[in-house]
Amino acid sequence: MRKSLVFLLLGIVITFSLGVYFEKEKPFPYMVINNHVVDTYRSFQPKNIEAKESLSGNQTLSAYLKKTGLIDSYSVPIEISQYHLGGLFRTPLVYKGGMCISDQILFLTAGSGETLLININSQKIIKIFDLINVIGINNNDLISIHDLECEFDKKENKYNLFLSLEKTEFQEELQKYTTQVYAFSLDSNLRKISLLGQVWKSDLGNLNTAGRLLLKEKNNLLISFQDRVGISNEKEDFVAQDPKLIDGKIISINLKERKSNIFSLGHRTIQGLHLGTDGTIYSTEHGERGGDELNIIQENKNYGWPVVSDSLGYDTYESSLKTNLNYQGFVEPVYFWSPSIGISNLIEIRNFDESWKGNIMVSSLKTMSLYRVQIEKTNVKSVELIKVGKRIRDLQEDSEGNIFLWTDSQHLILIKKAKDKLTRAVFDYYDPILRECMECHHLGDTFPTDTAPSLSNLFSREIASDNFEYSSALGQLPGFWNEEKLLGYLKSPQTVAPGTLMYSQVQDNKKLFLIVKKLKEIQESGQ
């Protein structure tokens, strides 16, 4: 144990030194350090573990149940169940990975390569495969799973699976990243999985990483790649605009011919891809400190990064130097979140509830929440925040309307429409006046998160007096909240409480007064 700790500390020191060396012009080389830390972590994981052919006994999800309860939504009461599946995987955290649903079978994969099969109808955990072993890749290699896509082939009576992974190799003391996509077949009895082969490979040695997979249609697979985030070389800043490189692109793979082409370009870091019922392709994309995007993807279109962006740079509280709000010649996002919510995957709601049908559900890592987006064509009508309390990596909906969430902590969360209504009144949290406030804050008691304090019963409440962990800057502020103090704080948080974690400010005086008035109205109504 002591020896492992020494090696870990040594690895951290080396990692920081490498980061400083490769990004001298940056005061804190986050991306380089992060990449090395992740690689160091993965290198310490157990090797040569045999693939688990089956699980002992008739295990169901109920054996892993940790918590159930009701959570808020504006229109529909929601029942939530959490299952902690951490003991079934090699590594304690997911980091990457994904899930898909086909023919009432949930395929769930972690970043280390194990893939769990769950029968949705019976909630029985059927089997677990180690896909890395099936491929035959040496366990000494540094492998990271990025996503899993699946379909049931009725004609062939089998499941087709597609797996994207990143392989890290060291050549001449340099790291080389290779993205590979593999195809598998699984018989309808879920007993035998066969490797069909590698369908695509990029060996450019880029610093990019693959994102999501999407089976657009039979024999047509989309795969996303992030930009070379963290590289400061001026030449490298615009690789997302370079048609000769895959960085910052969505690539279309013809599975039959094993050929590929650029589907769209100008992306930063795509975290989600989804095919709507009408054939619309939706995507979610990370900004920097802000500007997380919901996009509609069209073939051969340019989405602007880094020429245009609604995000703030990591090293400034002012508009990023890359930010240019003139979208002429580029596709503008249909919606964006600022500050960043740590956006992840998305789905189109089809069966959960009639009032939600056609809405887009977006998941979040940073705020540990879901965002229900009511959209008509390209026009976003409303956005509802639903607190969950876990970093959500992926989500899927089955044919019965059950929504499954997969988290970084290896919790599988099942969301259903609750039979019983909530006993307390639910206010319309998502009034247009409070839309931006509700991206971080909430009203009333919701599922716990550490994002921001509640705004309920704010007036006459002592400043920083509730259970939220406030910054010392706000915690030292004396007195009670009233309309005048709140107006001043929202207008310029850093002036009122220098060093406060809240950096958003309301410049529009009319909007400022409307926000305070609405919060006062809610409190006085007793809702």
Mean of pLDDT values over 487-503:
84
pLDDT band, residue 127 (cuts 50/70/90): confident
Contacts of 290-293 with C-beta under 8 Å, sequence gap 24+, read: 290/336, 290/337, 290/338, 290/339, 290/340, 291/336, 291/337, 291/338, 291/340, 292/336, 292/337, 292/338, 292/340, 292/341, 292/342, 292/343, 293/333, 293/335, 293/336, 293/343
pLDDT exceeds cutoff 60 at 39: no
Instruction: Determine the pLDDT at residue 285.
Output: 95
pLDDT given at position 233: 44
Query: pTM (2 decimals)?
Result: 0.72
* Same domain for 197 and 264: yes
Whether 402 has a pLDDT exceeding 90, the answer reads: yes
Tell me if 52 is assigned to some domain: no
State how far the Cα of 412 lies from the Cα of 313, in Å rounded to an integer.
33
360 and 245 in a common domain: yes
pLDDT over 80 (residue 99) = yes
Residue 236: predicted pLDDT: 52
In a domain, 48, yes or no: no
Q: Which of 417, 441, 469 is the last residue of a domain?
A: 417
pLDDT in the model for residue 141: 64
Binning pLDDT at 50, 70 and 90, where does residue 172 land? Answer: low
User: CB-hemisphere CA count at 13 Å for 19?
Assistant: 19
The rounded percent of the chain whose pLDDT value lies above 90 is 35
Classify residue 56: in a domain, yes or no.
Answer: no
Query: Domain of 498: which CATH number?
Result: 1.10.760.10
pLDDT of 25: 38
User: Is residue 320's pLDDT more than 60?
Assistant: no
- Asked if residue 95 and residue 27 are part of one domain, the reply reads no
With contact defined as beta carbons under 8 Å apart, do 350 and 277 qualify? yes
Lowest mean pLDDT among 54-58, 83-87, 369-373: 54-58
Least confident stretch, 120-124, 281-285, 468-472: 468-472
Q: What is the pLDDT of residue 482?
A: 87
Band of pLDDT at residue 53, cut at 50, 70 and 90:
very low
Does 425 have pLDDT greater than 50?
no
Highest mean pLDDT among 7-16, 277-286, 444-453: 277-286
Instruction: Name 178's Cβ contacts closer than 8 Å, sequence gap at least 6.
Output: 166, 167, 168, 169, 201, 202, 203, 205
Task: Indicate whether 49 belongs to any domain.
Answer: no
Per-residue pLDDT averaged across 255-269, rounded? 93
Residues 409, 437, single domain; the answer is: no
pLDDT value of residue 296: 98
| pLDDT beyond 50 at 387 | yes
Convert the pLDDT of each residue in 227-252 to its tens digit: 865 444 444 568 889 888 888 999 99
Q: What is the pLDDT of residue 262?
A: 95
CATH number at residue 299: 2.120.10.30
Return contacts of 371-380, CB within 8 angstroms, 24+ apart: 371/337, 371/341, 372/73, 373/294, 373/335, 375/334, 375/335, 378/296, 378/334, 379/334, 380/294, 380/334, 380/335
Domain residues for the domain of 446 are 432-525
* Domain C-terminal end among 363, 391, 417: 417
Indicate the pLDDT class of residue 398, thresholds 50, 70 and 90: very high
pLDDT at 154 over 60: yes
Over range 293-312, report the average pLDDT.
Answer: 90
Whether the predicted pLDDT of 45 surpasses 70: no
Query: Is 443 part of any domain?
Result: yes
Q: Which of 206-220, 264-278, 355-369, 435-449 is least confident?
A: 435-449
Q: Check residue 347 and give its pLDDT.
A: 98
- CA triplet 113, 114, 117: central angle to 5 degrees? 135
53 located within any domain = no
pLDDT computed for residue 451 by the predictor: 66
Specify whether 331 is located in the same domain as 226: yes
Q: Euclidean distance between the first and final Cα of the chain, in Å?
A: 54
How high is the pLDDT of residue 234? 47
Of 417, 451, 480, which residue is a domain's last? 417
Q: Does the pLDDT of residue 367 top 50, yes or no?
A: yes
Whether the per-residue pLDDT at 160 is higher than 90: the answer is: yes
Q: pLDDT above 70 covers what percent of the chain?
A: 76
**pLDDT above 70 (res 36):** no
Q: What is the pLDDT of residue 438?
A: 73
Highest mean pLDDT among 205-219, 349-363, 434-448: 349-363
pLDDT digits (tens, 9 = 90+) for 431-444: 678 877 776 777 76
User: Whole-angstrom Cα distance, residue 134 to residue 114?
Assistant: 10
pLDDT in tens, 4-29: 777 777 777 776 666 555 444 344 44
DSSP-assigned letter for residue 312: B
- For the ranges 182-196, 290-304, 449-463, the lowest mean pLDDT is seen at 449-463
Are residue 203 and residue 95 in the same domain, yes or no? yes
β-sheet bridge partners, residue 130: 114
* Token output for 11: 């690895």
pLDDT of residue 360: 97
Residue 334 scores a pLDDT above 60: yes
Peptide bond into 333 cis (omega under 30): no
Whether residues 412 and 512 share a domain: the answer is no
Average confidence score pLDDT of the chain: 80
pLDDT grade, residue 49 (50/70/90)? very low
Tell me, yes or no, whether 281 and 370 share the same domain: yes
> Do 360 and 471 fall within a single domain?
no
Q: Is residue 8 located within the same domain as residue 71?
A: no
Residue 309: pLDDT band with limits 50, 70, 90? confident
Do 322 and 449 reside in the same domain of the chain?
no
Q: Is residue 145 part of a domain?
A: yes
Residue 497, both tokens:
């409480």
Question: Does residue 256 share a domain with residue 140?
Answer: yes
Please give the sequence-ordered ranges of beta strands (E in DSSP) within 154-240, or none if there are none: 158-171, 174-187, 193-202, 210-217, 220-225
Task: Give the model's confidence band at 338: pLDDT under 50 very low, under 70 low, under 90 confident, else very high.
Answer: confident
* Total number of domains constituting the chain: 3
User: In the chain, how many H helices and how many E strands?
Assistant: 7, 25
pLDDT of residue 161: 96
Give the pLDDT band (50/70/90) at residue 92: low
Give the per-residue pLDDT at 108. Answer: 93
pLDDT at 48: 38
Is there a domain that residue 54 lies in? no
- Predicted local confidence at residue 211, as pLDDT: 76
